[in-house]
Amino acid sequence: MRKNIDTVIEAVIFICGILSIVFIVLIFGFLFKEGFAFFKDFGIIKFITGQFWYPTSDTASFGILPLIIGSVLVTVGACIIAVPVGIMSALYISEVAPKGMRNVLKSSIELMAAIPSIVIGFVGMVTLVPFVRTLFDIPTGLTAFSGSIMLAFMAMPTIVTVSEDAIHSVPCQYKEGALALGATKWQTIRRVVLKAAMPGIIAAIMLGIGRVIGETMAVMMITGNSARIPHSIFEPVRTMTAVIASEMGETVRGGIHYRALFAIALVLFIATFIVNFMADLFLGKNKNK
């Protein structure tokens, strides 16, 4: 009886894994079908390197270079803030904080992940945007910098939670062996714990980046939605996800503007796939060492 149950469970897990791959392939195929039709009419090089996004003007222009730069600025800015703060927070919770405080901190951080993005965007508009405008004496606080701060706040719960689990999973024998050889607590954390937990930490960072890249509502509310090439992080920007969310309802199904939005989604899908693939290669090399 137990053997039959194990066989059924293995079959269910196998089917779920296959279905996940099938769904991803179907999504890519759907995006490719609509996006490729646009590339045939407009050209992929012109689409990616174009500096103007005017889809509804008399002479429509579909250049997504400002959208790509805006997405990169916001994502990189959020990672610069969220990654070091998230990893240090995970180290503190797992290795430094007292046991009672550890449980409270971890639960509080996990609850932060449940806050809806629209609420975070609203709070950012009311509090962060005026503060940034006043602090840096700029015309508007709706900038890539404001978006980076709020997205970092959204990504940190994921980074902290997954990193803390990875750090906590490091065998106690590693730490005890390092301490027995004369290493200090901080040397043990830096040279043993961090290195052993690195695959899990990298996975946490990639999950956090995925949250940042795919975020829409908070970015739409805070970054200014200006589809032009910014010259600094203190200027309004527009991301690819914000364009898709704000303009899809205004397009004619099957029109060139409609297909252009699918082309943006295809570029975003491929970029995300490449980032995850590179992370998987890094994790594979790290495990083989």
DSSP per-residue string spanning 122-145: HHIIIIIHHHHHHHHT-S-S-SHH
For range 55-67, the mean pLDDT: 84
Closest CA to 49 of 36, 62, 31: 62
* Other Cβ atoms within 10 Å of 40 Cβ, number: 10
The span from the first CA to the last CA of the chain, in angstroms, equals 41
- Identify the pLDDT of residue 141: 87
Closest CA to 68 of 242, 285, 262: 242
CATH of domain 53-285: 1.10.3720.10
Residue type, 94: S
- Identify the pLDDT of residue 242: 87
Contact 217, 124 (CB under 8 A): no
What is the DSSP code string of 79-122?
A: HHHHHHHHHHHHHIIIIIS-HHHHHHHHHHHHHHTTS-HHHHHH
Q: How far apart are CA 68 and CA 2, in angstroms?
A: 54
As given in the structure block, the two tokens for residue 287 are 């495990």
- Identify the pLDDT of residue 1: 64
- Identify the pLDDT of residue 18: 92
Q: How far apart are CA 247 and CA 95, in angstroms?
A: 47
Q: How far apart are CA 264 and CA 34, in angstroms?
A: 10
3-state secondary structure of 152: helix
DSSP character at residue 224: B
Q: Please check the confidence at residue 287 and state whether its pLDDT lies above 60.
A: no
- Mean confidence (pLDDT) of the chain: 85
3-state secondary structure of 267: helix
As given in the structure block, the two tokens for residue 243 are 């364009």
β-strand 53-54 against 61-62: which pairing, if any?
Answer: antiparallel
Q: How far apart are CA 157 and CA 99, in angstroms?
A: 19
Q: Please check the confidence at residue 26 and state whether its pLDDT lies above 60.
A: yes
Q: Where are the domains of the chain?
A: 1-43, 53-285
Percent of the chain with pLDDT over 70: 97
- Identify the pLDDT of residue 283: 63
Closest CA to 88 of 105, 111, 74: 105
> pLDDT by residue (tens digit) across 191-213?
888 888 888 888 888 888 888 88
What predicted TM-score, i.e. pTM, was given to this entire model?
0.83
For range 63-90, the mean pLDDT: 91
